Amino acid sequence: MLMFFAGCSNEGSGKELIDGINGFLTDHFDRCRLDSLNYIIIIPNQGCAGCVNVAELFYRDFSERNDILFIFSNIQSVKMLHHKISVNNANTIIDTANVYLNMFQQKEAIYPTAIVMKDGSASAIMMQSPRQPGLRVIRNHLEQKLLTKNK
């Protein structure tokens, strides 16, 4: 069973956050691209080190999937990022201007974040933080789906 956590902020409800993210996504992506995605994973290159490490391992294992868009933000050096991980340009955005971090409050921008997509819209937000295992939950879900498919 996959559980989703809607992110909350002090400035509004989880629904308001989701609505804001959907507006942002509509402004930055075409409808066809959004319809093809199950997840958008935003990985800050600086922030919670252990959390970012979990996200980078997730990227390594799932970067070839076309239904996941990865966005690396808050990058010190693009050259160092390329040296650290093998970037799959087909489904990866290197956000050197930190445009995509604008969807979240500054205190949340240090954590890798998964936007769960359904029918071309954000339906839930899952953080990978010391208190929230967002990417681990998604990993377990994807691996379970793969095991079920291979039976």
Q: What percent of the chain clears pLDDT 90, i.e. is strictly above it?
A: 45
- Write the burial class of residue 145 (CB in 10 Å: 0-12 exposed, 13-18 middle, 19+ buried): exposed
59, amino acid identity: Y
40-62 residues labelled b (16+ CB within 10 A) or e (exposed): bbbbbbebbeebbebbbebbeeb
pLDDT category at 24 given cuts 50, 70, 90 is very high
- Say which residues have a Cβ less than 8 Å from residue 20's Cβ, sequence separation at least 6: 12, 103
Give the Cα separation of 41 and 92 in Å (integer): 9
- pTM for the model stands at 0.84
- Say which residues have a Cβ less than 8 Å from residue 37's Cβ, sequence separation at least 6: 67, 68, 69, 117, 120
pLDDT of residue 43: 92
| Digit-coded pLDDT (tens) for 86-132 | 887 889 999 999 888 878 766 667 789 999 999 999 999 998 888 88
pLDDT top residue among 13 and 61:
61
